Structure 1
Amino acid sequence: MFNNAINAYQTIQNEGLSDRETEARVLTQAARRLIICQREWAQPNLRERLGDALQYNQRIWTIFQTEMLEETNPLPLEIKRNILKLSQMVDRRTMDTLTEPEPEKLDLLIRINENVAAGLRGSVTGPVGQF
């Protein structure tokens, strides 16, 4: 699953998009996967799809964590700290949702992804779920 997140990231980069747009698109893709799980909560193979969606999302945030810890990262220290705090929140909510699945627990992860993606695009947009 880690390779899927990296492959998606690299595929989008190869399309000629900026790093920020690439990050926004993979976050949006992760949010959509979580939204679909939420909408199809009663479907028979939910556990597997939910696990895949959560793992995909967490891998993206793990990549962000790694980038924020790089000494060569040019972002201001405060932004790096905020992203690390968000990634810790994503980690905790992911583990909580895997342990005790409830569709409402996905709301926080979806909102974080949507808001960060909007910020990366330099815009405030409506929820990803409205597609």
Structure 2
Amino acid sequence: MSKRFWNMYKKGLVKSYATPPLAGNPREVEAWGLTQAAIRMKDAQKSGDPEVIRAAVRLNWQLWTIIQAELLSPQCTTPIDLRSNVLSLAKFIDKQIVEVISDAKSEKLDILITINRELASGLYETPKENSDDSTGRSSGEDADRPDTPPSGGITV
């Protein structure tokens, strides 16, 4: 677990790994999914069982496929530069997953676990830059609808 994520956990910002977040906050849902996948991969890594490793990695692959689909959607509101960066990361993850599925060794999971944890950690944090209020929205974003949640997609 990264130091930043651990500090957030101690402060209560990460309430529970086992309880899915309520609908309406895409950042928390994405962070929870990434965290769950990281936990399952870590458990699989500890088991050393190739079939358990493959199952955990396949779950992670499904999650990253959903993330990619969201980022490629015409309705995606994620800034283009961030979208490109996350899609490049997803391409790297796809290659790593294929490698793990073909040769399920525990040590190959480290990079996937780290990426999921770090991205989840960033998603769990409330964005503060260019923000008008505590919602984390940037200036002018949904100004006429103050109670709307932030849009979906990866918004680190």
Deviation at 1:17, TM superposition (A): 5.4
Mapping of residues 1-131 of structure 1, within 5 Å:
12=20, 15-16=22-23, 18-41=25-48, 46-122=49-125
Matched residue type, 2:33: V
User: What secondary structure sits across from 2:77 in the alignment?
Assistant: coil
Deviation, structure 1 residue 86: 1.1
Equivalent pairs counted in the alignment come to 108
In 1, the alpha carbon distance for the partners of 2:66 and 2:113 equals 18
When residues 36 and 64 of structure 1 are mapped into structure 2, their CA distance, relative to the original with a 3 A threshold, is: same
Give 2:107's aligned amino acid. E
The TM-score with structure 2 as length reference comes to 0.65
Unaligned segments of structure 1, at least 5 residues: 1-10, 124-131
Q: Which residue of 2 aligns with 1:128?
A: none
Report which of the two structures shows the higher radius of gyration computed on alpha carbons. 2
Shift of 1:38: 1.1
Give the letter for the 1:21 counterpart.
E
TM-score, normalising length from structure 1?
0.76
Distance 1:83 1:66 in 2: 12
Q: Which runs of 5+ in 2 are unaligned?
A: 1-18, 127-156
Paired residue secondary structure (2:123): helix
* Identity across matched positions, percent: 34
Instruction: Give the root-mean-square deviation of aligned CA atoms.
Output: 1.7
* AA matched with 2:28: E
Runs of 4+ aligned residues of structure 1 deviating over 3 Å after TM superposition are: none
How far has the Cα of 1:12 moved from its partner? 3.3
Q: How many angstroms apart in 1 are the aligned matches of 2:73 and 2:79? A: 12
